[in-house]
Amino acid sequence: MKNRHCHVLASLMLLALLLATACSRLPRNSKTLFVMVPKLVGIPYFNSARDGASQEASRLGLHFFYTGPTEADASLQVDVIAGLLARHPAVLAVSCDDANALAPVLRRARRYGIPVLTWDADAQPDSRDWFVSQVEDETLGRHVMDVLAEQLGGRGQYAIVTGSLTASNLNAWLYWMKKQQQEKYPEMQLVAVVAGNDDQQQAFVQAQSLLQAYPVLRGFIGNSSAAPPAIARAIEQAGLAGKIAIAGLSTPNLMRQYIENKTVKTITLWDPGKLGRLTAAVGAMILRHETPRDGMDVPGVGRIRVFPEARKIVMGTPLDFTRENIGQYWF
C-alpha cells in the first residue's frame, strides 16, 4: 500500500515537471543586472577581477552579480549560465572554459536579447557581442618567451607547465610562446608540456618530476597562475634556486616570496582588477547603446584598443613584476 502511494506521488511530481516546462509565464526582466561568470570561482586571479568589476559596476549604477562553476569544467559552466538565463540579466560577461563548448548557450542568450561579453577567455566570435581581452595573445606569448630566453641566453632545454590542457586561451598563449622560440631562439629546446590543472600541488609534482626526468633542464614557463609558485617551490626544494630560470604568468601575491628571495626574476601578468573594471565599463556602454572606439580613455583603465571587425577590445600590454616594482601591487 505504501509503495503505491509512493509511486503515485512521485508520478505526480513528474507530471508537474512536464507541465511546468510547457506552462507560460514570462521571466522577470532586470534592466540593470550585470552578471559576471569566471572560469571558476575560488582562485585569487578571478577574485581580483570580480572586485574591480563590482566597484566599477556600482559606480556606474549597475546591479552586480558574480557566480560560476566550482571547477574549471566547461559543462558545469554551461549549466550555470543556462540557469542564469532565466533571470534575463541586462548584460552577461563570461570568461570561457572552452571556446567551443560555451558557444551554443551564449548564442542562446543573444537570441533571448541578452548582450553577451566575453572577457579573459573568448568563445566563438559569432556567439558574443564583444571580447574584452587583457592583452593580445600574440604579444603575451612572445613576451613571456622573451623573458625566459633573456635569462637563458637564448639556448637550453625548457619545459612548460600549463593549466588545463583544454583551455583555449592558455593554448593560444602556448602557441605564440612556441612560435617565438622557434623563430627567434632556435637553440632552445622544448622538452615537455604538462598540465597543472590550476592546482599548485599537481604543478609542484610535475615540476619535480621534470627536474628529475631532464637533468639538463634550464628553464620553466608556468602558463597559468597556479603553476609558477609551485615550480619555484620545487626548484627551491631541489636546491636549484637561481640556477634554473622561471618565467610565466602569475599574480604578485602568489609570487612575492619567490621574487624577493631571487628564485624568480620576473613574472608577467596584467591587472585583473583593471580587466574587471573594463568589462563592467564596456557592459555599461552596451546598455547605453554606445560603441567602444579605438583609443578611447576608460576611467581607471587607460587607453584601450578596439578592433571593430573582430569585435575585440584589448586592455593594454603585459605587465612585468620584478623586485623593483612588486611592492606596489597587492593582488
44 vs 154, which CB is nearer to another protein?
44
Nearer to another protein, 124 or 317 (CB): 124
Q: Which is nearer to another protein, 139 or 189 (CB)?
A: 189
| Shortest Å, Cβ 51 to another protein | 11
Q: Is 33 left (phi over 0), alpha (psi -120 to 50) or beta?
A: beta
When the beta carbons of 68 and 283 are compared against another protein, the nearer one is: 68
Query: How near is the Cβ of 290 to another protein at its closest, in Å?
Result: 28
DSSP strands (E only) in the chain: 33-37, 63-66, 91-94, 116-119, 130-133, 156-162, 188-195, 217-223, 245-249, 267-269, 297-298, 302-303, 305-307, 312-314, 319-321
The minimum distance between CB 247 and another protein, in angstroms, equals: 18
Closest distance of CB 305 from another protein, Å = 28
> Cα–Cα distance between 193 and 275 in angstroms, integer?
28
- Residue 148 CB contacts under 8 Å (≥ 6 apart), including other chains: 158, 219, 221, 245, 247
Contacts for 78-85 with beta carbons within 8 Å, 24 or more apart? 78/102, 78/104, 78/105, 80/37, 81/37, 81/105, 81/106, 81/109, 82/108, 84/35, 84/37, 85/109, 85/112, 85/114
Tell me whether residue 66 or residue 270 sits nearer to another protein (CB atom): 66
Minimum CB distance to another protein, residue 169 (Å): 13
In the complex, minimum distance from the CB of residue 3 to another protein, in angstroms, rounded to a whole number: 5
Which is closer to another protein, CB of 17 or CB of 288? 17
